[in-house]
Amino acid sequence: LERIPSIDQLAKTEGLYPFDTVDYDNGISSVYNKALHVTDYDVTKDEHGNILPLLHDKFDSKCIEQHWFGTQSNKQHPCDESKSHGQQGIVVIDDILNPAALQRIRDLLNSSTVFYQTKMPLKFGGYVGAYIDDGLYDKLLLQLAFELNLGLPNIMNGHPLKYLWAYKYDSRYTGINTHADQAAVNVNLWITPEDANLNKDSGGLVIFTAKPPKDWDFDNYNKDADKVMKEILEPTGFANVTVPYK
């Protein structure tokens, strides 16, 4: 690591350090982008062999679906309206996982070595990614997707899991750029402890409410940020729902 120069000396590669002969002679190819530790976090069961749930006891599917569809709370099942952001299709949920499940998923992602994708700091914001089709396929994560699908039937109906990923960010950089995912329902979970955020004005998620035109493809709304800003976001006054890191 001591051979890696500072970020300002890596402008030509947009923040990435290109390995050279010395690095290969020192054995970098034996560890870099290698599955040195493949996690195998199975589902947990009780003494009777029943699978223990990952979702929190407070997981309120009825209120989540009411907020998602913008329907009014009823007397039979009152919901906290402060959780509603006045925007259909956007719901923010605290404590979605029970404490034991949260800790297991943290341990899984902290010990995994399948974060193969590197996003250049000077272009994409400086983070690494792991994907379900390239090593991130623990049964524990699939169980979570399954529970969410069952727990939110009116939202998830007809929308089985299509893709799954995890990102680790370097707090010195900007994080993921403005983009749009191809999904009917997109679920984002923050599992980093709140006390890990040393700057309460950073982190979190900004969800722009404007949608790209139907005739735009993935490249249109993900590879030309200036065009997205000018033609989609600016006309709405950059209308958004901002979810703080905590």
Q: Which strand (E) or helix (H) includes residue 131?
A: strand 127-131
pLDDT more than 90, % of the chain: 48
Closest to 37 (Cα-Cα) out of 107, 127, 119: 107
Q: How far apart are CA 123 and CA 120, in angstroms?
A: 5
Kindly report which listed range (50-64, 143-157, 220-234) carries the lowest average pLDDT score. 220-234
The average pLDDT across 88-109 equals 93
For 153-189, what is each residue's pLDDT tens digit?
A: 999 999 999 999 999 988 888 888 888 888 899 999 9
The average pLDDT across 96-100 equals 94
What pLDDT was estimated at residue 82?
67
Residue 12, pLDDT > 90, answer no
Averaged pLDDT score across all residues of the chain = 88
189-214 in b/e burial notation, b at 16+ Cβ within 10 A? eeeeeeeebeeeeebeeebbbbeeee
What pLDDT was estimated at residue 98?
95
Q: How far apart are CA 78 and CA 86, in angstroms?
A: 17
Closest to 92 (Cα-Cα) out of 69, 72, 68: 68
Q: How far apart are CA 234 and CA 210, in angstroms?
A: 10
Strand 117-119 to 127-131 pairing = antiparallel
pLDDT more than 70, % of the chain: 98
Residue 14, pLDDT > 70, answer yes
What pLDDT was estimated at residue 1?
73
List the end-to-end C-alpha distance of the chain, in Å, as a whole number.
Answer: 33
For 202-245, what is each residue's pLDDT tens digit?
A: 888 999 999 888 888 888 888 888 888 999 999 999 999 998 88
